[in-house]
Chains A and B, each alone.
Chain A
Amino acid sequence: MRWRKVFETNEYGKIDRIIWYDQESVIISGQGRRARSLRYADGLEVWQLAATTTNTNSNQDTVAKHCQVIKNRYDPGTIHILSDDLLWSVSSYGEMLWSIEIPIKSTLKNLFLLSTSQYVIVGSLDSNSNQLQVTYYSKQDGQQAFSSSLPWSFNAKDSLNKCSTMNNLILCSNNDELSIITIPTTTDDTNVKTRHIKASSKIEQIRILYESTTRSVILIKSDNGETKIYQFNKKESTSEWDFNELNIQMKSNSFISIATDKNLAGQQILEASANDQKLNFHVSTINEQTLTNTRSYSVELPENMGEIEYLAYSVVKNTQLVTLRMQDGSLLVIKLADNGAELILHRDEALSSIISVETFDLSLSITQMRIEEEFGGTGMFSMFTKRISSQVSQLISFFLRLMDLFTHGNRNRDYLDKQAALVRDEFNLNKILIVVTSVGKVFGILTQSGGILWKNFFPNFAPFEHFNAVHVPLFHIRSAAHYTHEPLASIVYRDRNSLHDTHIRTFNPYTGDLENNLTTSSLPYHVKRVFLSTQAVDEFCKVLLFVDTNNKIHTYPPVPLSRALSTTIPTYIYLFDKSEQAFVGYYLSIDENDQKTSTNLKEVWRVSFQNEEVINIHTRLSSDRVHSAGIVLGDRSVLYKYTNPNLIAVVTEGIDYQKVPFVNIYLLDTVTGSLKLSHTHKRVKSPVHIVLSENWIVYTYYNQRYRRYEAVSSSLFEGEAQYNYSTFSSFDPIEPVIQSKAYILPYGVNAIQVTTTEKGITSRDIIMATPNGMLIEIPWILFDPRRPLDLTPMDREEGLIMYTPEIMVNFESVINYYKYVYNIRGIHTVATGLESTSIVFAYGLDLFFTRVFPSRIFDQLKDDFDFMIIGWSTVAFVVGSFVAKRFASIHQTKKAWK
């Protein structure tokens, strides 16, 4: 990749159209509000222009803005842009030619933009009189020349969906009829002509394949799968067009693209269709009404990529190139040559749309497994034989390995390395990441290399909505701890076409192979929430529990609830009711002898929010461990933490009676429904990013009043005494003591997360992704709400740092160094077998993976540890001590003889 420019994530950075020139390309973004030109050579900007005014809508306009960009066919250096009410023209040299405003009303919408050698023509729909007003503006200076109107039968939305423009034609589909409306191009001739083409059934799509000043080709697709291609030729010295149908037989799912080149005699038409794992191409030359010189190519794809979503065919220096975007987000470039088609580029662009991440431990190696097996078995005799046999087999395999090493040497090293990549290492540092993308492609990625182990594509995939984001539940059904059984993971998603249908797919995270027994497409209920059982049922597998829209709980696969959930510890479930903005807590009573696989939920509490809208919730990581129950203070007394595992953080947004926007943060106990913490921030803008761990919460927001990003940190404490030292219950009458501090952040925040370690002994670091591309590791001690304003010796003894409002970021704590990553949406942290080490995986537009050591490397040797010096000095000491002993004995005897 030569260069890459990342635009804004908001509406302003969304690209509307790219117009390609020889040296640079003009990119129109922000719904026709900005034009910029980037050079191909280095990606630097040549010029940038933007609209000079904007609409500040007082009433929220629900109709999305509409924008049309066209290149003037008669003057290729001029681009006309119509953005809602703004019409402007720029030249490819970066000159704003003119810009005018066309008044719009709720009944008058600008829809079409056409251009001729003299005029820029805007078609605007007047829904009052059902007429299309056609206004002519001078191409030179934007002066309105004249206007006319014609009857129009579509409404604004239909006009946009069903109509296309081409030269001076507007093409509209009306059921099985295609209307071709010719807009006159000169002022002399003002009558509008309309002609029709009949199709065999309802027209689904009109696509313009090729457009020039004298010839055009369009495609009409009907809903019965019939596809027709029409060729338009301009009549001499008039603005009218002749058209004729091209005689071409096509499959219903095929895509068409047309390429022209100066060297080619005519135009070449490419028909492409996807068929399982195969792409078929037919290239022909358009010759009057028929196609000649048809050649067929086919290419085997490495995996199932679904249907074609976009196709472009181009001939560059006599090389025929086909660029495709597939349904699974893959970008393909295929070269067509005389000896067949060849796939020359394949990029999994789906990886930039990750929505769920889970990590799996790798499987134990055979030797590790044998050691595990050694201690299995029942009865004295079987245990003894097992032990002896396993030790013998270990010995044999050791000798075999030695033999192999001597006979083969390095020859099958590659193969061994590949095998070793899938086996757990000594400290469980390497893992498999399972990522689910929003297009429905699931990847298994090895962490040590970043290589993709396997991919699975689910074509009918649609994610669930989760507050203001999308979400796909991904579960560990069976972990890698059970070495006799392969691990299993499940994803739950909705059907793309019927959103009430839920699919469950269970697969082996090492290979991606589907486990068909635990895969279903039909659940007889509408799913509201899904979670994992607390207890393993059959063969160490956990089951999925679904809450349906009637507040009934079901298990999948169907097993008695008493086996899936603990009967000794009561189960509470909370759900969110969006229409009432309320959290509702339910109690689930399970009888031990009950064999029911589904039951009703009983409501026990309800927390509803008035005048504020819940925008997000945040739960703690399931891997969160609390090592110590308290903090030892400077005077040797203990301050006990309030570590409630049932807390969730709730973020709400609203506008108060003084019209001041506010954001509220709550900590809600999901068992009792009581609020343990509530903070109000006025003049604050979301997004609020939250980390909830142990007994503390850290969240960030944008302060509109002081125009800076801030972080608030709060800790909850039980106090000097602990209510119950052995177990925690939400029903214990504990009022937590809350300490809070606010800090100023030097950068904005895209995502934050806390490091995770196996036992939670290591101190915590906060990983923060910033919009400028850095991943910063900040020790939690800097966010500690107990940082004192003036430092007493007792605080110093405890290791507290004096409070300063600003959190300074040292570039040494940037964990991605100069490899900046942009538009990070989430960070995933996992513990490893080493207590000091936490794995960090940041995902978004870019992916980044590393290991961090929040308390430095305390349980392993440094990379540059010199084994040679230690080894040789030990040897030297041993030898030296023997020599010294000898000398000492000689000395002793000499002394004795004196």
Chain B
Amino acid sequence: MSNVIVCCLFYSVLIIITTSSTTSTTKAPLYTIEGQIVLPPDENNLGNIRILVDEGLYIGVPHVDGTFTISGVPSGSYIVSVNSPFHIFEPVRIDINKKGKIRARAVNFIEPGKVTTKKYPLRFEVHSKPNYFQKREVYRVTDLFSNPLVLQATLLVVSLLLLPKLMPQGEDLQGALQQTNGLFQPNPNMPDITDWFIRLFGAPTRQRPARN
């Protein structure tokens, strides 16, 4: 049995040699990439999934059970990525050698020489789900309390209210407090906008009582 196969092989090699000698073209065998996409059972929508080999050099369509075949691929190194708007799959690099042996490894753009082998036939599982949207900021009362600035402000207010109560009612301190209070009093030299308006329109029949 094996003899026959060897014989056949030899014969076909002969044919290839003879044909290539007569024509200027040479024959290159083509191979098939196989794999499977595994989706979570509740969202079995394969309709918008595409399998891209080298960013669209070959494009595959999944079968009903999630498996896919991409046939007619010559030997070489390719990146197989599964492309879906609702799922993220990790791409895989596959190397098909001249004899048609297929080896799969993880994609590493930064160190292309580094090899992390993966299983073949390929198996794509959902890595994560893409998040296209930023969460809209919503106004919530709890946010207000967690804000450090608000916390700081409340602490200040509390201390402002509490401190005078805690302080001893000493004469000198009272005086000092009076002075600080003076800081918040409006500056008498500063022109008041109401005064300016009154002067401009000359409205008041009622005279403002003079200040003491």
Chain A residues within 8 Å of B, Cβ to Cβ: 3, 5-10, 12-13, 30, 33-34, 36, 38-39, 42-59, 61, 101, 103-105, 706-709, 744, 746-748, 770-773, 805-806, 811-812, 814, 817-820, 864, 866
Contact B61 A36 (CB under 8 A): yes
- From A30, A46, A61, A818, name the one whose CB has the most chain B CB atoms within 10 angstroms: A818
Identify the closest chain B residue to A710 (Cβ).
B109
Give chain B residues whose Cβ lies under 8 Å from the Cβ of A42. Answer: 46-47, 64
Q: Is the pair B47, A3 in contact by a Cβ cutoff of 8 Å? A: yes
Q: Which residue of A lies closest to B45 (CB)?
A: A42
Contact pattern, B 61-90, Cβ under 8 Å of A = 1, otherwise 0:
111100011111010010101010110100
A105 in contact with B64 (CB, 8 Å):
no
Which of B19, B56, B131, B134 is A9 in contact with, Cβ under 8 Å? B56
Residues of A within 8 A of B57 (CB): 8, 10, 12
Q: How far is the CA of A7 from the CA of B93 in the complex (A)?
A: 21
- Expressed in whole angstroms, the Cα–Cα distance for A124 and B109 within the complex equals 49
Interface residues of B in 87-130 (CB under 8 A from A): 88, 93, 109-110, 112, 130
- Residues of chain B contacted by A43 (CB below 8 angstroms): 47, 61
- Alpha-carbon separation in the docked complex, A818 to B87 (Å): 10
A748 and B56 contact, CB distance less than 8 A: yes
Please give 18 more A-B residue pairs, beta carbons under 8 A apart, in addition to A53-B30, A817-B132. A7-B59, A9-B56, A38-B61, A44-B61, A48-B71, A52-B30, A53-B27, A56-B25, A56-B27, A104-B23, A707-B77, A707-B93, A746-B109, A748-B55, A812-B131, A814-B132, A818-B132, A820-B83
Docked complex Cα distance between A33 and B32 (Å): 13
When distances are taken between beta carbons in the complex, the residues of chain B under 8 Å from A57 are 24-25
User: Which A residues are in CB contact (< 8 Å) with B85?
Assistant: 773, 817-820
Instruction: List, in ascending order, chain A residues with CB within 8 A of B130's CB.
Output: 811, 814, 818
- If A46-B63, A57-B24, A817-B133 touch, whether A34 touches B55 (CB-CB below 8 Å) is no
Q: How far is the CB of B30 from the nearest CB of chain A, in Å?
A: 5
Pick the residue among B23, B48, B56, B109 that contacts A706 (CB under 8 A).
B109
Determine the distance from Cα of A739 to Cα of B11 in the docked complex, in whole angstroms: 61
Residue of A nearest to B138 (CB): A864
The 10 closest A-B pairs by CB, nearest first: A50-B72, A748-B55, A50-B71, A818-B85, A811-B130, A771-B56, A45-B61, A772-B83, A55-B25, A817-B132
Q: Which residues of B contact A819 (CB under 8 A)?
A: 85
Q: Taking the nearest CB of chain B, how far is it from the CB of A3, in angstroms?
A: 6
Pick from A36, A56, A806, A866: contact of B26, CB below 8 A. A56
For the complex, what is the distance from the CA of A504 to the CA of B59, rounded to whole Å?
A: 41
Q: Tell whether, in the assembled complex, residue A773 and residue B83 are in contact, meaning their CB atoms are under 8 Å apart.
A: yes
Would you call B28 an interface residue if the criterion is a C-beta within 8 Å of the partner chain's C-beta atoms? yes
A747 near B55 with CB under 8 A, answer yes
* Closest B residue, CB atoms, query A105: B23
For window 170-195 of chain B, which residues contact chain A by CB distance below 8 Å?
none
Chain A residues contacting B50 (CB-CB under 8 Å) are: 6, 772
Q: How far is the CA of A46 from the CA of B81 in the complex (A)?
A: 20
User: Does the CB pair A44–B62 fall under 8 Å?
Assistant: yes
How far is it, in angstroms, between the C-alpha of A44 and the C-alpha of B26 when the chains are bound?
35
How far apart are the CA atoms of A772 and B57 in the complex, in Å? 11
Q: B206 contacts which chain A residues (CB < 8 A)?
A: none
Query: Please, which residues of chain B bring their CB within 8 A of the CB of A56?
Result: 25-28, 74
Most A Cβ at <10 Å: residue of B88, B130, B132? B132
Choose among B23, B62, B93, B131 the residue that contacts A45 (Cβ–Cβ < 8 A).
B62
A44-B64, A56-B28 in contact; A12/B72 too (CB < 8 A)? yes
Residue on B nearest A3 in the bound complex, by CB: B47
Considering the complex, give the chain A residue whose CB is closest to the CB of B112: A706
Cα distance A482–B61 when bound, in Å?
53
B58 interfacial by beta-carbon distance below 8 Å:
yes
Q: Which of A8, A48, A814, A818 meets B69, CB within 8 Å?
A: A48
Q: Is the CB of A708 within 8 A of B112?
A: yes
